[in-house]
């Protein structure tokens, strides 16, 4: 069973990697960012609350985030494995994840650290475009769609995430460095941390993951 956490700065390629891996591993892709964006679109009270933080580049409070993940793990599809993308992001969330997994009798196999130089991140994120319908991720230069601004997979118009502006990205990086990077040591101590070079293309990232034989 493959049960992994993808850990990495915003723009390191967690979402892109997860989208490819979930198909080849046939396990659910659990992205707290995607779940929050869905809640925002649905205008739910939780979505409105989360959006206050997301638009400023700040982390959504732990109690809300942990609640969302706890609920997601009550579904039985996670028994066959999972890819957690963007969770945990704080030590408190990592401890809560341990509890959620123990309670559901599931083991976390590996935490994949997507290692990337901060200088590359701003360029990657400001050029990112996503499909609001199917979640496909593009980059205007690195991974352009076949037809400008149209999703290859479902023909929807692509959008730029509201938090993908340079100003907000700087805040997100700040949150990563302060609140999330301590998780590297947290999982290194548990001896389940593996590292890939995330400055490479999506294909090369997949090759590195396959070479790990998880
Ligand atoms: P990225 O990794 O590129 O920043 P995500 O889609 O994972 O993008 O997250 C977008 C935003 O959603 C974050 O900036 C944050 O506000 C919120 N968010 C997502 N996951 C979490 C989490 N685990 N804890 C707190 N906030 C989160
Ligand atoms: Zn699409």
Indicate whether 183 belongs to any domain: yes
Question: For a pocket test of ligand 1, which of 8, 30, 34, 59 has the largest count of ligand atoms closer than 8 A to its C-beta?
Answer: 59
Total-model pTM: 0.94
Same domain as 56, residue 8: yes
The 3-state DSSP class for residue 111 equals strand
Give the C-alpha separation, 18 to 5, whole Å: 10
Same domain as 186, residue 112: yes
Same domain as 125, residue 109: no
Same domain as 108, residue 137: no
> What atom of ligand 1 comes closest to residue 31's alpha carbon?
7
Same domain as 205, residue 149: no
Same domain as 107, residue 65: yes
The structural domain count of the chain equals 2
Task: Tell me the per-residue pLDDT of 121-162, one tens digit each, with 9 for 90 and over.
Answer: 998 999 999 999 998 999 999 999 999 999 999 999 999 999
Same domain as 185, residue 155: no
Question: For a pocket test of ligand 1, which of 8, 39, 48, 60 has the largest count of ligand atoms closer than 8 A to its C-beta?
Answer: 60
pLDDT at 1 over 90: no
In the prediction, which pLDDT does 153 show?
Answer: 96
pLDDT band at 165 (very low <50, low <70, confident <90, very high): very high
Same domain as 110, residue 20: yes
- pLDDT > 70: percent of the chain: 100
CA 58–ligand 1 middle distance (angstroms): 8
Same domain as 193, residue 127: no
In the prediction, which pLDDT does 23 show?
Answer: 93
Of the candidates 22, 89, 124, 129, the residue annotated as catalytic is 89
The mean pLDDT value for 5-27 works out to 95
Indicate whether 36 belongs to any domain: yes
Write down the number of H helices and E strands in the chain: 9, 7
**Angle in degrees, CA 194, 199, 202, rounded to 5:** 85
The mean pLDDT value for 174-190 works out to 98
133 has catalytic annotation? no
Indicate whether 189 belongs to any domain: yes
Indicate whether 87 belongs to any domain: yes
Strand partners, 195: 113
Strand partners, 115: 197
Indicate whether 170 belongs to any domain: no
Same domain as 205, residue 123: no
Same domain as 140, residue 54: no
Task: Tell me the per-residue pLDDT of 99-119, one tens digit each, with 9 for 90 and over.
Answer: 999 999 999 999 999 999 988
Indicate whether 55 belongs to any domain: yes
Structural domain for 38, as ranges: 2-116+175-210
Confirm or reject: Cβ of 4 under 6 Å from ligand 1: no
Both tokens assigned to 141: 């230069």
């Amino acid at each position: 069973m493959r049960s992994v956490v993808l850990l990495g700065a915003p723009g390191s390629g967690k979402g892109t990697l997860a989208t490819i891996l979930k198909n080849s591993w046939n396990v659910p892709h659990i992205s707290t960012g995607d779940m929050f964006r869905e809640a925002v679109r649905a205008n739910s009270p939780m979505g409105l609350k989360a959006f206050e933080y997301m638009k400023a580049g700040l982390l959504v409070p732990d109690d809300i985030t942990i609640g969302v993940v706890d609920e997601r793990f009550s579904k039985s599809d996670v028994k066959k494995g999972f890819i957690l993308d963007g969770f945990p992001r704080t030590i408190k969330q990592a401890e809560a994840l341990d509890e959620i997994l123990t309670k559901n009798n599931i083991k976390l196999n590996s935490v994949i650290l997507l290692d990337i130089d901060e200088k590359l991140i701003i360029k990657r994120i400001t050029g990112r475009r996503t499909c609001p319908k199917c979640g496909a991720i593009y980059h205007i230069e690195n991974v352009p769609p076949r037809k400008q601004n149209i999703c290859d997979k479902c023909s929807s118009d692509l959008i730029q995430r509201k938090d993908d502006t340079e100003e907000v990205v700087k805040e997100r990086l700040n949150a990563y460095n302060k609140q999330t990077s301590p998780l590297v040591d947290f999982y290194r101590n548990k001896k389940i941390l593996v590292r890939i070079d995330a400055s490479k293309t999506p294909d090369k990232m997949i090759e590195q993951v396959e070479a790990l034989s998880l």
